[in-house]
Amino acid sequence: MAAAYVTRPDGSRGRKWIYGRTRTEVAEKLAELSQRANAGAVIPTRTPTVWEYLDYWLREVAEPKLRPTTMAKYRSTVELYLRPGLGKRKLATLSVRHVQEFLNSRRAVGDSVPKLRMMREVLSSALGRAVREELVTRNVAQLTTLPEEHRARRTAWTASQARMFLTASRGDGAYVVFVLAMIYGLRRGEIAALKWENIDFSAGRIGVEATLIRVSGKLVRGPTKTRAGTRTLPLVSLARKSLHAQAVRQRDQRIDAGDDWDESGYVFTTRSGRPIEPRNLSRSFDRIVAAEALPKIVFHDLRRTAATLLKDLGVPARDAQMILGHANINVTLGIYSEVFDSSVVEALERMERALADDTDPGPEQEPTTGHN
């Protein structure tokens, strides 16, 4: 064995011990270590376990910059999967094979591909930081592979189905919520986070600037999912009328509640004025869908329905991207390209007419085989 003084990640100096089977092996390792130390590399004198590093990374790196919901998912992923599966291994000796076998074992017990992707994403983010801190030389999580994912095609309503739903929901307390989701494609949390200060009736604008989420048992008003999610949209007539009606409805609730009213400034509240639970918005939605025998979709598919209607109306993808708050135009184009509607049929019929000529044999007939 041998030892050399090195600079630790925290800036202090300490001895780094080296071990080997022979003097020659140790001498080679010592020469390599000395070269790295002389080049200014920071070198830990004690190799942390994967769990120790994940704990540090969550606390000091991830938490200060991530949204509360994302942070909650990351913590859950570390505690439920990464810590039990890989936590005891030394960070410096974690290999591609270790991570691949871990992911394969999780798949074998029934974990979905999206769940595996989350595990790899969290581990890769932490290892990427470890590379920058010179604790490891490569991000082994990035070198693993996941099974192919066969994702079911998401559904959306047609314009007539959307109108049928809005007509049926007109007497429901969540009608305004449905209008905003259908017209603007607002996310459930974005609707729940709206405050009256975000509604400018005189200028005819509605500002989407936050989302309401439940984190560790508490409702938290945080930033939108992405920067593109923060947007200002024109207040069209139906939305304006619906929001005016909501203001009157909330005024009556405030009077009925009296001293029990808790003024929060939110557009949508409980009977006592507190912000609503975003998940509760889906209850009325599911009930009306079932009562009207409409194609079953989830509340979030109203956002997809909005995108589909924009496409059918000929709205350019760039404009739809801004309305929907997509961070990436490819997401918008992906929805646009999946929609099989009358415009596709019309386009192909126009193609057929363009290729047709006077030699067209006419209506297709059943082919004959020549056999009786």
pLDDT tens per residue across span 261-299: 999 999 999 999 999 888 888 888 999 999 999 999 999
Would the pLDDT of 310 be above 50?
yes
What pLDDT shows up at residue 222?
Answer: 83
What pLDDT shows up at residue 346?
Answer: 65
What pLDDT shows up at residue 362?
Answer: 52
pTM: 0.66
Average pLDDT, the chain: 86
Confidence of residue 364 (pLDDT cuts 50, 70, 90): low
Would the pLDDT of 39 be above 70?
yes
pLDDT tens sequence across 94-132: 999 999 999 999 999 999 999 999 999 999 999 999 998
Domains defined along the chain, listed by start: 2-38 (no CATH), 51-143 (1.10.150.130), 159-338 (1.10.443.10)
pLDDT tens sequence across 139-171: 999 999 998 876 666 678 888 999 999 999 998
pLDDT tens sequence across 178-197: 999 999 999 999 999 999 99
Dihedral class, residue 284 (left if φ above 0, else alpha if ψ from -120 to 50, else beta): alpha
What pLDDT shows up at residue 372?
Answer: 47
Crossing angle of helices 317-324 and 301-312, rounded to 10°? 150
Quote the CA–CA distance of 133 and 43 in Å, as a whole number: 9
Would the pLDDT of 300 be above 60?
yes
